[in-house]
Amino acid sequence: MSYRLGVDVGGTFTDLLLVDEKSGNIHTAKVPSTPHDSSIGVLNGIERVCKSAKINPKVITHVMHGTTVATNTILEMSGAKVGLVTTKGYRHVLQIARSFVPGGLGGWVIYNKSLPLAPLALTVEADERVGADGQMVGKLKVSSLERELRRLKKKGIEALTISLINSFANPKNEKEVARVAKKVFGRMPVSLSSEVVPEMQEYERTITTVANSYVRPKVEKYVRNLTRELGKKMGDVKLHVLRSDGGLASAKAAASHPVNLLMSGPAGGVSGAIWVATQAGFPNILTFDMGGTSTDVALVEDGKAQLRRETTVGDVVVRASSVDVRTVGAGGGSIAHVPELTGALRVGPQSAGAAPGPAAYDKGGDLPTVTDANVVLGYLPTAVRLGGDMEIRKDLAVKAVKKVADPLGLSVKEAAAGIIDIVNENMYGAMRLVSVEKGYDPRDFALMGFGGAGPLHANALGKLTNAWPVIIPPGPGVLCAYGDATTRVRDEASRTLIQKFHHTSPKELAGVCKKLAAQASKTLDAEGVPKKERSTSFEADIRYHGQGLSLTVTFDVADLEKKGLDLIGDQFDEMHKQLFTFALPEDKEVVNVRAVAQGEATHVSAQSVGRGSKSPAAAKIADIKVFIKGKDRKAVLYNRAKLKSGNVIEGPAIVQEMDSTTLILPDHAGTIDDYGNILINPL
Amino acid sequence: MPAKIVETRPKPFNRVKIDPITLDIIENAMLNARWEMDAVLFRTAMSPGIREQGDAFPMIANLDGKMVVGQFGSFIYGFKEAYDGTIEEGDIFFMNDPYTCNGAVSHANDWLLLRPIFKDGRLVSYAAHFGHMTDIGGKVPGSLPTDARQIFEEGIRVPPTKIFKNDELQEDLFEVILHNCRMPQWNRSDFNAIIASLRTAEKRVLEMCERFGDDVYYSGLEELLDRNKRAMQKLIKDTIPTTKQSFEDYICDDGMGMGPYKIKCSLWREGNKAVFDFTGTDPQSIASVNFLLNEEMFKMFCGVYMIMVFDPQIMFNDGFYDLIDVHIPEGTLLKPNFPAALSCRTHALGRIFDVLGALLGQGNPDFLNAAGFSDSPHLMYSGHDKKGEWYQLFQIGFGGIPGRPFGDGPDGHSLWPNFTNVPNEFLEAYFPLRIEAYETIPDSGGAGHHRGGNAIHMSYRFLEDGEISIHDDRWLTKPWGVNGGTPGMRSTKLLERADGTKELLPSKCDNIVVKEGDLLHFNTWGGGGWGDPLTRDPEKVLFDVEAGLVSHDGAKRYGVALKRDGSVDEKKTASLRARMAKKRGKTQVFDFGGTIPELKKRCKRETGLEAPATPVFQSWNRGDEAAKPKRKAAARKKPAAAKKPAAVKKPAKAKKKATRSGVKRRKAA
């Protein structure tokens, strides 16, 4: 008998999902989160879920966990004091960054740049040089470096980053610097750019490695604590952490390369969405995860999320694979305002966040937010509270929204509807980024809405994108826990090549691939994943010689050896045409090659809700009024926990559960499927 | 003859009423379309100037040709006036000759493509995009010859031409154009990339028409234009006084040993209208530093600078154009007569922004920024490598952002919208060179309550024999400080030969032969300081010293004394500041670091370079009629003006404020 456990720690609730590996049966639990030390909440949850499953915690062999510790460390700027070693002449690499000033013509007038993650005062230079082709141009001058490092030591750095020019082509000097650093600093964590992200472009490689150092001590501590606490309760259990790219990393890998965890939270949501959607029979979905301050969207084709080679957290953009989640600064807390000069209605990017929060929460916020607009319109009912202990004050919401209604010359309800329309439009912009702009037609996808506010806006987004059905899975927290519990162990190894097609051969490329495959599967060896349960896939970033950005194609090494470089070349031409309407007769080049090794997916079956009749009457809570399309309309409020498979809810209707609320619009109906998902379609 | 628009189903649009929310949604959708245009271009272009650096400018206009979303304003009105032909469904126009498109592009390296968008037989919008090509032929690699005297030396010129008819590429024509370029594969790719971007814009415009209805789309655009107009009306009334104010600034030289050249602009309000008058600007140069400034484009610059602080989210458009009058005298540096050379206009273009900022800000010093817009410094490096392959680099550098009311200027950042630097590892992988230093220069930013951003020092070690060209400015005049802030450091270029000899290079030069192993130190300029440096928090000064952005000695410019242990010596600082304040007296609005005669006098001593000679302006004869473009340019309506010698010029009177004292340095030609 063996069990695995998925754990999602949210701001309010911690959700757990226990899977019996043999039968695929599941048990869930929801407990309050404990922000000061989230392991307490996790352990409470484990107790709860084991009790309901009637098992001893010791039979749980794997714990899978998505965490926002790394993300929050950057957002709150609460990371380590990081020292940085660069090549001589490059001390200002983070200060200059890419010289980019946002905001268009004249944007510099109001732009204030944030400070680098590794302060300049803690950045030193190493006298050494490697050429672009990996040739040693200058040997490292050890004694001057040692002096500089001792100076850093006096300043009390907590982590060290080494990022030297062209180290992606030859890591020898970085390793040499690391050796000297070990002598000076002993056990302090050291991150090497040639290990964290051995790819061309010095700024991107440096910021990525520095971000790794910056979050590392916190993540290490968190993982160590959790491992220890879990061990006390469950003995020999393996903790895995979800990576930004939706794969699983061992606790050890997570702690040493935490830069790969920056999108761990959203990746959990997307993985869960994929799992739920696949169960429900929709392999192509757009995910729509709307929270308090921001909204994440992603595109899933054939049960696989699109990945990209970039992760963005706040101001920081790093080179690490992540699920291609686009984030817009639009959420429940986004503040609406009307600039006096133009009289336009703007929503966000400022957010009231959790504090002071929306006006309706009565926590000190008095500016109109998206949540307040939802309250004004009756989409967030105040009468009945099912979960949480937050009181919602409609009078305060009305007062806040009036602040934008007056200058617009609209009624409070009309202004509230305007706020909702505009925030929906902003989110629609993000959905277009992942779909139409990449050559996908949203009509070929279903739309899955989750997160605290997603189910309130998902129906409207369905109307804008024409992606049907709109799927509202049960419980946003559970969704992430599903994602955690059902993902696979994954690792990847990559290398920058920059080879023109006519300068390389299928044989040479295949050789590189095989080396990378061996490297990537080391993690799986350590995890004890049996060879027959593994799969390895290969990716190459290709471009026309002379272009700056590349497109990623996937391929099979055996095919490559058989069919030659045209295998990837043709695929690239095809993609280029799909995305940009044209292909070119120019020579192509391989920029990067990657091998991705994965273990087998866990078999889990979804929890089904009981079968019911077409009428949802049994779940009805009350008759209410909502303001839609310019007038007040009668609507019905339902309790989600009581809905049965086969129930059909006609809009306008509101469905409430512990941690989210779903709005079904007029002329639409939501059908409950076997797993408790609400599938909304136009009538 | 103005262009004739051919519609198969002409039918006027109805102006319908639009609620404010729908309007904001249309605005948002237009913005999305514009960002998408850039995204498509940057991903597929090959010229590093476009691809990595973002030297490209998209636009979507309404059916009258007014820019609704974009950056540099619309030129379609001028194009339509000048183009003697039809505008039909399936056309894409190609042009790069500034003289025949009324300065829509201001040098021939910028290739402009324009697509009229039709729906159901009616014209609904235009999309346009232009980008800087690495090379378009001409006398030097990079096609920006410093010593050109006529535009004919600056590469291939294309007047407005239908490169697509009926959505078919005119291949013969296109191949002829490419045949004239040194890196035709890049031009081909960049051209394709721009076309792809226009097609994206068209798709989005048609989608919007479908989604909202043609009349709502049309009316929405009109309303957005009106909304801008109303906002600008208020701003003009509130911020621009009726009394005339003037400001003058200079580009240091013309690359042929003469300079500086004056750009003068006066501003006042007449009723509802703001008037910008460039009378007093120097006559056109005989070299290639002339800048054919499109009036409409200048209006856009004004508008953006005025509104940026009030509603940064606004989608800025052409709606307010009626509210601004721009007068640029013909035959001047900013409105040169054909066929004056134009390729190196980037200096004057950059300087326009400094002039504009000063002009708008001097009445309201709290909103005044210091100077930083030198221009965009370029380096070209080309030749045949040891394998016999041609290499050609064109790179844009950056300097210090000026000190601003909003805070310190970032170090080594771009004043141009959406520009980024090229990763040095990328340069080293693709070109025969090694970047030995890429760092900001301590103390190069002007001191101020808000510090000016530092300049960049970039060292190029050349690994092959070749030739270089340099285009930069602000080596003689200084990026001025404001409200007590001091000027930023000027730019310098030093070539260290492999044998150890050192040569100072001028700020503008071509065909400098470099050998394997030579090292070029390319130093840009720093931003001017904002506000009294003696009021800057000493802890901030200390922070910069610890970061190495300001030196120990540099801290003294802020009146900050540091102890041996590196901390601030508060007592000494207080007395130092008191002494300095007394010695300095009251702070001035502008600190230019000296008058032009003073700067010229000190030139050799301070810069190591000879001071430029007083410019000689020649009376411009248009020459042989055959050299004129067949299609008459809109801006050149009065051929008589060309016959007048443009050169007779009175010495400018010294203004009390904002001008350097008594300028009597030019002779009429």
Q: Do B40 and A418 touch (CB under 8 A)?
A: no
Which helix (H) or strand (E) element contains residue A43? helix A38-53
End-to-end CA separation in angstroms for chain B: 37
pLDDT score for A531: 83
What is the average per-residue pLDDT within B128-140?
92
Distance in angstroms (rounded) separating the CA atoms of residues B10 and B472? 51
- A-chain residues within 8 Å CB-CB of B420? 98-100
Q: What single-letter amino acid sits at A299? A: L
d(CA B425, CA A129): 12
Query: How many angstroms separate the CA atoms of A500 and B73, rounded?
Result: 40
Nearest alpha-carbon partner for A271 in A527, A536, A17: A17
CB-count exposure of residue A583 (10 Å: 0-12, 13-18, 19+) = middle
> Whose CA is closest to B106, among B395, B415, B345?
B345
SS3 state of residue A412 = helix
Rounded to an integer, the average pLDDT of A141-166 is 96
Round to whole Å and give the CA distance between A337 and A344.
8
Distance from CA of B539 to the nearest CA of A (A): 14
Which residues of chain B from 436 to 475 reach within 8 Å of chain A, CB to CB?
436-440, 456, 459
Looking at residue B659, its pLDDT comes to 39
Element at B495 (helix H, strand E): strand B492-496
**Tokens standing for residue B79:** 């194009």
Q: Structure tokens of B304? A: 């953006």
Band of the pLDDT at B635, cuts 50, 70, 90? very low
Residues of B in contact with A546 (CB under 8 A): 46, 185-186, 189
> What percentage of chain A carries pLDDT values higher than 70?
97
Name the residue with higher pLDDT: B637 or A327: A327
Least confident stretch, A128-132, A165-169, B238-242, B495-499: B238-242
Question: Could B301 and A105 be called an inter-chain contact, meaning their C-beta atoms sit closer than 8 Å?
Answer: yes
For B556-579, what is each residue's pLDDT tens digit?
A: 999 999 998 889 999 999 999 999
Asked if residues B40 and B79 have their Cβ atoms less than 8 Å apart, the reply is: no
SS3 A628: strand
Phi-psi region of A603 (alpha: psi -120 to 50; beta: other; left: phi over 0): beta
Residues A545 and A588: beta-carbon distance below 8 Å: yes
What is d(CA B593, CA A281) in angstroms, rounded to the nearest whole number?
73
DSSP letter (8 states) at residue B562:
B
B395 touching A, CB under 8 A?
Answer: no
φ and ψ of A159, to 5 deg: -155, 150
Determine the residue of chain B that is closest to A463 in CA distance.
B211
**Of residues A108, A544, A581, nearest to B189 (C-beta):** A544
Distance between CA B94 and CA B218 in Å, rounded? 26
B36 at A interface, C-beta within 8 A? yes
Across the interface, do B29 and A425 touch by the CB < 8 Å criterion? yes
Chain A: closest CA distance from residue B219 (Å): 16
- CB within 8 Å of chain A, chain B residues 147-206: 185-186, 188-189, 192-193, 195-196, 199
Among B21, B425, B543, the residue with its CB nearest the CB of A345 is B21
Q: Are B106 and B345 in contact (CB under 8 A)?
A: yes
State how far the Cα of A147 lies from the Cα of A184, in Å rounded to an integer: 9
Give the type of residue at A132: A
Say yes or no for a CB contact (<8 Å) between B414 and A202: no
B588 and A CB contact within 8 Å: no
Contact between B423 and A93 using a beta-carbon 8 Å cutoff: no
The string of pLDDT tens digits covering residues A591-609 is 888 898 888 766 666 677 8
What the block records as the tokens of B274 is 């703001």
The kind and range of the H/E element at A271 are: helix A264-280
CB contact under 8 A, B423 and A417: no
SS3 A499: strand
Which of the residues B26, B27, B43 would you substitute to probe the A interface, choosing the one with the greatest number of A C-beta atoms within 10 Å?
A: B43
A100, B414: Cβ pair inside 8 Å? Answer: yes
Distance (Å, rounded) from C-alpha B397 to C-alpha B379? 8
pLDDT at B642: 39
Measured distance CA(B472)–CA(B494) in Å, rounded: 13
CA–CA distance, B370 with A325 (Å, rounded to integer): 40
Q: Quick one: pLDDT at residue B296?
A: 85
For B645-657, write each residue's pLDDT tens digit: 444 444 444 344 4
pLDDT digits (tens, 9 = 90+) for A6-17: 888 876 678 888
Of the partner residues A132, A410, A429, the one whose CB lies closest to the CB of residue B429: A132
Angle formed at CA A208 by CA A204 and CA A211, multiple of 5 degrees? 140
| Partner-chain contact B20 A343, CB within 8 Å | yes
Residue B70 has pLDDT above 60, yes or no: yes
Structure confidence at residue A414 (pLDDT): 94
Distance CA B129, CA B123 (A): 18
User: What's the one-letter identity of residue B565?
Assistant: D
Alpha helices in A475-527 (DSSP H): 476-486, 506-520, 522-527
Q: Which residue of A has its CA nearest to B72?
A: A105
Determine contact, residues B251/B371, Cβ cutoff 8 Å: no
What letters, b where the CB count within 10 A reaches 16 and e where it falls short, cover B220-241?
A: bbbbbbebbbebbbebbeeebe
Tell me the pLDDT of chain A averaged across its residues: 88
Confidence of residue A366 (pLDDT cuts 50, 70, 90): very high
Rounded CA-CA distance B245/B247 in Å is 7
Of B235, B417, B549, the CB nearest to A104: B417
Residue B216 φ/ψ, nearest 5 degrees: -70, -40
Domain ranges of chain B: 4-232, 241-293+328-363+606-669
The mean pLDDT value for B478-494 works out to 97
Question: What does residue B634 show for φ and ψ, rounded to 5 degrees?
Answer: -60, -35
**What tokens appear for A291 in the block?**
């929270």
Averaged pLDDT for residues B364-369: 84
Q: Identify any residues that bridge with A248 across adjacent strands, giving them in sequence order.
A: A242, A489
Interface-testing mutation among A136, A309, A342, A502, with chain B (most B C-beta atoms within 10 A):
A342
> What is the per-residue pLDDT across B4-61, written as a single tens digit (0 to 9) for each?
999 999 999 999 998 877 888 888 889 888 888 888 888 777 877 777 666 778 999 9
Is the Cβ pair B414, A432 closer than 8 Å? no
Q: Sort out which chain B residues have CB atoms less than 8 A from A466's CB and list them.
A: none
Instruction: State chain B's mean pLDDT as an integer.
Output: 88
Q: With an 8 Å Cβ cutoff, are B312 and A547 in contact?
A: no
CA distance B591 to B477: 11
Q: Which of B297, B273, B276, B231 is nearest to B77 (CA)?
A: B297
* Rounded Cα–Cα distance for residues A406 and A394 (Å): 18
Q: How far apart are CA A474 and CA A639, in angstroms?
A: 12
Size of interface A-B (CB pairs under 8 A): 238
Q: Mutation test of the interface with chain B: which of A84, A423, A580, A587, choosing the one with the most B Cβ atoms within 10 A?
A: A580
**B455: nearest CA partner in chain A:** A96
Q: Which of B468, B302, B460 is nearest to B392 (CA)?
A: B468
User: How many CB atoms neighbour CB B543 within 10 A?
Assistant: 16
Return the pLDDT at A265: 83
pLDDT digits (tens, 9 = 90+) for A34-88: 877 888 889 999 999 999 889 999 889 889 888 888 888 888 888 999 999 999 9
Q: CB distance B44–A426 less than 8 Å? A: no
In angstroms, the CA B634 to CA B614 distance is 33
| Contact call for residues A177 and A85 (beta carbons, < 8 A) | yes
Which of B127-136, B564-573, B640-649 is predicted least confidently?
B640-649
Mutate to test the interface with A, among B35, B313, B406, B456 (most CBs of A within 10 A): B313
- Judge contact between A31 and A44, C-beta under 8 A: yes
CA B32 to chain centre: 24
Within 8 A of B45 by CB-CB distance, chain A residues are: 547-548
Chain A residues with CB under 8 Å of B29 CB are 425
Tokens of A647: 């129930």
Looking at residue B317, what DSSP letter applies?
-
Residues of B in contact with A99 (CB under 8 A): 398, 412-414, 419-421
Q: Are A418 and B20 a contacting pair at CB < 8 A?
A: yes
Contact B424 A202 (CB under 8 A): yes
pLDDT score at B619 = 64
Domains in chain A (CATH in brackets) are 78-215 (3.40.50), 283-468 (3.30.420), 490-598 (3.30.1490)
A451 in Cβ contact with A458 (< 8 Å): no
Distance from CA of B168 to the nearest CA of A (A): 14
Torsion (CA) A474, A476, A480, A485 in degrees, nearest 10: -30
Find the residue in B nearest to A415 (Cα). B21
Residue A524 has a pLDDT of 81
Predicted local distance difference test score (pLDDT) of residue B647: 42
Tell whether omega for the bond before A469 is within 30 degrees of 0, i.e. cis: yes
Strand, coil or helix: B574 = helix
Which tokens go with B611? Answer: 């001071």
Assembly ipTM:
0.86
A285-310 pLDDT, tens digit per residue, is 999 998 877 888 999 998 888 888 78
Interface test with A, best of B197, B416, B424, B543 (most A CBs within 10 A): B424
* Partner-chain residue, chosen from B228, B305, B419, that has the shortest CB–CB distance to A106: B305
pLDDT of residue B628 exceeding 80 = no
Strands of A178-319 (E only): list them: 190-192, 238-242, 248-250, 285-290, 295-301, 304-305, 307-308, 311-313, 316-318
B626 pLDDT tier (thresholds 50, 70, 90): very low
Cα(A336)–Cα(A349) distance, integer angstroms? 9
Question: Which of A100, A576, A586 is facing B185, going by the closest CB pair?
Answer: A586
Tell me the C-alpha to C-alpha distance, in Å, between residue B277 and each of B297, B301, B371, B660. 15, 15, 21, 19
User: What is the per-residue DSSP string for B182-230?
Assistant: SSHHHHHHHHHHHHHHHHHHHHHHHHHHHHH-HHHHHHHHHHHHHHHHH
Contact A204 B423 (CB under 8 A): yes
Determine the Cα–Cα distance for residues B596 and B664; give it in Å rounded to an integer: 10
Identify the residue whose tokens are 């949850």: A45
- The number of CA neighbours under 13 Å toward the Cβ of A124 is 21
Q: Does B423 touch chain A (CB under 8 A)?
A: yes
Which pLDDT value is given to residue A169?
A: 92
| Average pLDDT of the residues in B333-357 | 94
- Please report the pLDDT score of residue A579 as a whole number: 77
Per-residue model confidence (pLDDT) at position A342: 77
